[in-house]
Amino acid sequence: MKIIPFDEVAAKFPVIFFDSYGVLRNHRGPIPNAIQTVERLMEAGKHVRVLTNNAARSPQAAADRMAEYGLHCIGEDKIITSGATTRHFLEQKVKRGKVAYLGTAASAEYIIGAGLEAIPISAVDIMRLDEIGAVAFLDDEGYDMNVDINLLINILRKCQVPVVVANTDLLYPTTANDVALATGSIARLAEYVLGRKFVKFGKPASQMFQMALDSVAQEFPSVCPRDILMVGDTLHTDILGGNTYGVSTALVLSGNTRPESAETEINASGIIPDFVCKSIGE
């Protein structure tokens, strides 16, 4: 497995898509030299976007968080969240009714932003399920797992509406050594016990790549997948999604995929990045 300096890879592409956690920053703060790298790329005229599997925060809140870490150059308009692709879907497909959700009040903004009424699962009136137009898995916080997951499953057994999952991640890091269940796990559990398939957003699904490309096209109208490098630390989301959408992909070893096991994981999964780099700072 050949490790290439990130700058050498980035030089070939006018458009760079970054994953956030494990690429730009981790639980300790920004990845060493990441801020300088992103600033240098933008000064060189590259079109940069951040694609993050997250519906817990609005793009504005995500940009504020980036700024806290010193990444002032990444404004709200450069951030594509899986929440935003979910909102876009709700706008297009759900014409009426309340959207019952699992998540925080902040995550419900993606429902409200679609012009729909948001109602937490715990507040659903089981006698008036005809009011419900869709169900959304938005975030892993903001509800009581002991009660609300059973409630959700009983609602879905009686209610034939579209179900959307704003984030397919299974786990997220909480410290250097620990993880917690992400929304994707809870949705997967519900799919499994119900024998149903939900509509899923977030990498590796194509919608985020398409929304990011559409965003770049406003400033670089002739952009096509060949121009784009997706940079991520996770094979099953960033790299699989990029490969499927048809953009070039670079795996960085500064997050989920450890240097010592990267080659084994690539071989075992069959998800093959075009490039492998230590981090975007090296």
List interacting residues with a second copy (CB under 8 A): 88-89, 92-93, 144-146, 149-150, 153-154, 157-158, 160-163, 170-171, 174, 177-181, 185, 188-189, 192-200, 205-207, 210, 225-226, 240, 243-248, 261, 264, 266-272, 274
Q: What is the largest CA-CA distance in the chain?
A: 61
How near is the Cβ of 276 to a second copy at its closest, in Å? 12
As measured in angstroms, the least distance from the Cβ of 216 to a second copy is 15
Residue number with CB closer to a second copy (45 or 195): 195
Beta strands in 60-170 (DSSP E): 79-81, 98-102, 117-120, 132-137, 163-165
Cβ 139 to a second copy shortest distance, Å: 13
Give the HSE-up count for residue 228: Cα atoms under 13 Å, Cβ half-sphere: 29
d(CA 208, CA 182): 18
Give the closest residue to 63 by CA, choosing from 73, 53, 91, 98. Answer: 73
Q: Which is nearer to a second copy, 55 or 63 (CB)?
A: 55
Question: Alpha-carbon distance 79 to 210, whole Å?
Answer: 13
Minimum CB distance to a second copy smaller for 8 or for 144:
144
Rounded to the nearest whole angstrom, what is the least distance from the CB of residue 174 to a second copy in the complex? 8
CB of 34 to a second copy, least distance (A): 27
How far apart, in Å, are the Cα atoms of 230 and each of 93, 223, 237?
29, 14, 11
Closest approach of a second copy to the CB of residue 154, in Å: 5
Question: 37 or 82, CB closer to a second copy?
Answer: 82
Please tell me the distance from the alpha carbon of residue 280 to that of residue 254, in angstroms, as a whole number: 8
Distance in Å, CB of 19 to a second copy, minimum: 19
Assigned token pair, 20: 């956030």
Count the alpha carbons within 13 Å of 91 in the hemisphere toward its beta carbon.
Answer: 12
- Distances 109 to 25, 105, 120, 266 between C-alpha atoms, Å: 25, 7, 12, 37
Residue whose CB is less far from a second copy, 97 or 162: 162
Contact, 167 vs 199, CB < 8 A? no
As beta bridge partners, residue 99 has: 118, 134
**Which CB atom, from 61 or from 171, has the smaller least distance to a second copy?**
171
Q: Which is nearer to a second copy, 265 or 282 (CB)?
A: 265
| 63 vs 163 by CB, closer to a second copy | 163
Q: How far is the CB of 26 from a second copy (least distance, A)?
A: 17
Q: How far lies 44's CA from each of 11, 40, 41, 151, 274, in Å?
A: 10, 6, 5, 52, 23
